[in-house]
Amino acid sequence: MPLAHFDGALAVVTGAGSGIGRAIALALAESGASVIAADIDLPAAERTVTRAKTVGAGGAAYQVDVADAGAMEAFAAEVKDAHRVPDIVVNNAGIALAGPFLDTELDDWHRIVDVNLWGVIHGCRLFGRQMRDRVAALPNKPDKPNLGGHIVNISSASAFAPWRAMPAYCTTKAAVLMLSESLRAELAGHRIGVTAVCPGFVSTDLVKNGSFVEGDTAAPGKLRQRGQQAIQLRNYPPEKVAERVVHAIVKNKPVVPVNFEGHLLHALSRVSPATLRLLARIPTPQG
């Protein structure tokens, strides 16, 4: 069952200090939700809440590293104790890592898996359990069934397609997509929706703040520059992703590709995976 409206809802958004996370937090606030903005950068999260108060009910800011299991457990408990069980959880926090697989060190793998995958696992496990227990504790009325809530996991168009330039990033985002699909099946009986949102290139600082592995393709500085140029040329604002997130919650969508490349890669993954395998072999341009 979808959440038909957001008036009075409590929404938790990780990575809410900037980019897609901030846009989602503001869109939910504008729709009537009170927002818990979580970010590793507390001042950034506080700025999001300040802006949320100008468009809606506002909320509260928390500093948390989604990769830290203990910190996430404390955060989930604090949200429940200081506020209540959230109705909406958006696991958005993520980082980028580019470079050849054989040149990616274990420390690089640990960091991106800890943030992009374990961060989502922590959010789903902790808040999903709270939502499930809330439904179980309330009497269910046939004419007005309890809505358990909704979890949104921000994956990527990279989840649909292999890419030699970003094997670690693609791997984590594909895992988030499969986790979301599996969790959706498990929580459906508790009337909790789960959605994987898969954007393509979006105008955020993901590439600017990302890490680049030394390899045999191009210098990290050039890779970063090309990535930022591609994002600037695409010029797809995070607010449009936020609109799709709100719509996905209302309609209880399972998987939501966003923008042209998201839809294209999703379609190719279903009708012509061999094409994607060929495209994945294209090397990063030199010079």
The 10s digit of each residue's pLDDT in 65-105 is 999 999 999 999 999 999 999 999 999 999 999 989 999 99
* Burial annotation 3-40 (CB, 10 A radius, 16+ → b, else e): beebeebbbbbbbbbbbbbbbbbbbbbbbebbbbbbbb
Domains and CATH numbers, the chain: 10-280 (3.40.50.720)
Residue 257's pLDDT is 97
Which of these is catalytic: 169, 201, 212, 236?
A: 169
pTM above 0.85, yes or no: yes
Residue 287's pLDDT is 41
Nearest Cα residue to 24 out of 75, 79, 94, 85: 94
Residue 224's pLDDT is 59
Residue 220 pLDDT grade (very low, low, confident, very high; cuts 50, 70, 90) = low
CA angle 87, 91, 95 (to 5 degrees): 165
**Known catalytic membership, residue 169:** yes
Residue 1's pLDDT is 40
Residue 211's pLDDT is 85
**Model confidence pLDDT, tens digit, residues 111-158:** 999 999 999 999 999 999 999 999 999 876 655 555 789 999 999 999
**Model confidence pLDDT, tens digit, residues 266-282:** 999 999 999 999 989 88
Residue 165's pLDDT is 87
Average pLDDT, the chain: 90
DSSP class of 44: H
| 199/203: higher pLDDT | 199
**Model confidence pLDDT, tens digit, residues 165-190:** 899 999 999 999 999 999 999 999 99
Does the structure show a pLDDT above 90 at 234?
A: no
